[in-house]
Amino acid sequence: MWRLNKVRHKAARQGDSLEELRLKRREHEKALRQARKDRQLVSKRLLLNDDEEQPEVSMDTASGEPDVVRLFQNFQHSGRDREVQLKALIKALRDPSAQLDFIKQENSMHLLVGLFTGSDAQCRLQAVRCLHELSHSPHTNVAPACLPATPYLLTYLSGQSTKFTELCLYTLGNLCPDSVVKEKLLAQGIIPALANCAENQRHNLAVMEAVGFTLSQLLQTKDAAEKIVPMVLSSSLPSQLLSVLTPDPNFGLAPAIECSWCLHYLISSIEDNRELLARGALLQCSSLLVSLGGAVAEGNKEEGMELLVYPLLRCVGNLLSSCPVGDLSAQLTDVHFVVALCGLLEAYIHTQPALARESAWVLNNLTGKLLSCRGTSVIAHFAAFCSALLTLNLVSGLIQLLPFSQGINTMILRVLANIAHHKKEFCVQMAQLGLLSALCSTLKMADKNMVTLSLDVVFMLVNSSPQVMEEFVKQDGVSLLEAIQYNNEGEMRRRATYLLKHHLISN
């Protein structure tokens, strides 16, 4: 199964200290993605160099200034050993105070850009690493200082070196959240440049991961929905992003994770997703979820898998809610999709309740489409998903999850209500699976939403069959409704009263 492997193309050194750095970086990147998932936080990415270990960064402002000033003076007065001096500058620029000292030196950025665009390939590589260190700065005035380099960073995206292209992409991704830099990059054509890079490097997963990171940074900036999303949708980028949603078993999940987040930001930024649907977004995302759900059901929860599952669920859930019902039959064809959703829900309910809730939300959006269906063929298509939940014995598992809180039980009960709404036969089957007993418990909950939803489902169940109604009475359902009638007000009281008057006491 796919794994979020160590990023082999970014480092090739040996030794325990390097492996520790890799592990730290992977944990840091995982934390950044987690933050992005929870708060859509713009993050920065720092790549390791191939030929040196990353030292601890000092925050002492006095420590970096002499080195940076001395190195800059050496650049100005000496034409030899530029590569060695640049390597020393890279180390010095890891100190945030040194970054400020460097940009304060007159003509420092112009000299660095001159080396970045010069004829010496090794100096170009070391110069872009200096720019990359500057792009990772926590100081807000450093990113605008890097503006002289942005046209060349975009130009070099069409180069042949994977390592060099990656550095340019991650540097751009770190710089673009700054509003001044973002506007300049948009004017300089960053979207066409990213599209061209993705087209030329579509088989290079390392570069595609970097393209995904840079694009996701842009899509999270202010006014992205108005300024950036239309440009992205009119380019080839959506198709390129979708093409990456087939993870390579040897490379890992990272490229698919980055590209799925980009798709999530695109889909959630617009109301009309017909263009993305036409490119097969729902089909591709749901198919990958089926594969991941199957792996999870077999007990294969690899590290980082949830970071891919989460944005995919968001993509599918939003596409389902916005897609015209008549178009969905061509987009969503595999009934095993509900198996995957239930598997993800049960697998992550204890360890990742937010992800479990997202799975239940997508299941609700899917089964809820039945309520707006018109036409025999369309109804039959979506009825197949509800029927699969019963025939594949998935409803029993859902019923067992009703005691859970954090909004999960509310969403699951909505799913069961959607199924019950479609056919009386489904109501009878769910009653036989123990839903009545579970509802007798949910009717006692303090959560008013759960009680109201439970009353709705009870209404559909007792109205489906005399036998179901009799069973509800046997389970002391009448006294439960009477308690709700006398102890509550508003909608719950009205529904309980209606049930008692028209379906239970009169019979």
Q: 50-70 as b/e, with b when 16 or more CB fall inside 10 Å?
A: eeeebeeeeeeeeebbebbbe
Residue-level pLDDT at 325: 73
Of 408, 291, 313, give the one whose Cα is nearest residue 366.
313
Of 3.40.640.10, 3.40.350.10, 1.25.10.10, 1.10.580.10, which CATH number belongs to 424-506? 1.25.10.10
Condensed to tens digits (0 to 9), the pLDDT of residues 196-222 reads 999 999 889 999 999 999 999 999 998
Percent of the chain topping pLDDT 90:
55
Q: What band does 41 get if pLDDT is binned at 50, 70 and 90?
A: very low
Residue-level pLDDT at 379: 63
Phi, psi angle pair for 248, to nearest 5°: -85, 125
Q: How much is the pTM?
A: 0.85
Cβ-contact 400, 430 below 8 angstroms: no
Cβ-contact 244, 262 below 8 angstroms: no
And the tokens for 224?
């992205």
Condensed to tens digits (0 to 9), the pLDDT of residues 285-332 reads 999 999 999 888 888 777 778 899 999 999 999 998 887 777 777 788
Q: Coil, helix or strand for 252?
A: strand
Residue-level pLDDT at 368: 85
Domain boundaries, the chain: 280-319+331-422, 424-506
State the average pLDDT for the chain: 84
Condensed to tens digits (0 to 9), the pLDDT of residues 50-81 reads 555 444 434 343 444 557 878 877 776 666 67
Distances (CA, A) of 354 to 29, 38, 43, 313, 320: 20, 10, 21, 11, 19
3-state secondary structure 376-420: HHHHHHHHHHHHHHHHCCCHHHHHHCCCCCCCHHHHHHHHHHHHH
Q: Coil, helix or strand for 298?
A: coil
CA–CA distance, 277 with 275 (Å, rounded to integer): 5
Condensed to tens digits (0 to 9), the pLDDT of residues 330-378 reads 788 788 899 999 999 999 999 899 999 999 999 999 988 766 655 555 5
Cβ-contact 245, 291 below 8 angstroms: no
CA–CA distance, 462 with 207 (Å, rounded to integer): 58
Of 387, 452, 377, give the one whose Cα is nearest residue 420.
387
Cβ-contact 204, 162 below 8 angstroms: yes
CA 443 to chain centre: 35
Residue type, 159: G
Q: What band does 390 get if pLDDT is binned at 50, 70 and 90?
A: very high
CA–CA distance, 138 with 142 (Å, rounded to integer): 8
Of 127, 155, 152, give the one whose Cα is nearest residue 49.
127
Question: Region 410-427: what's the mean pLDDT?
Answer: 93
Of 232, 240, 296, 312, give the one whose Cα is nearest residue 266.
232
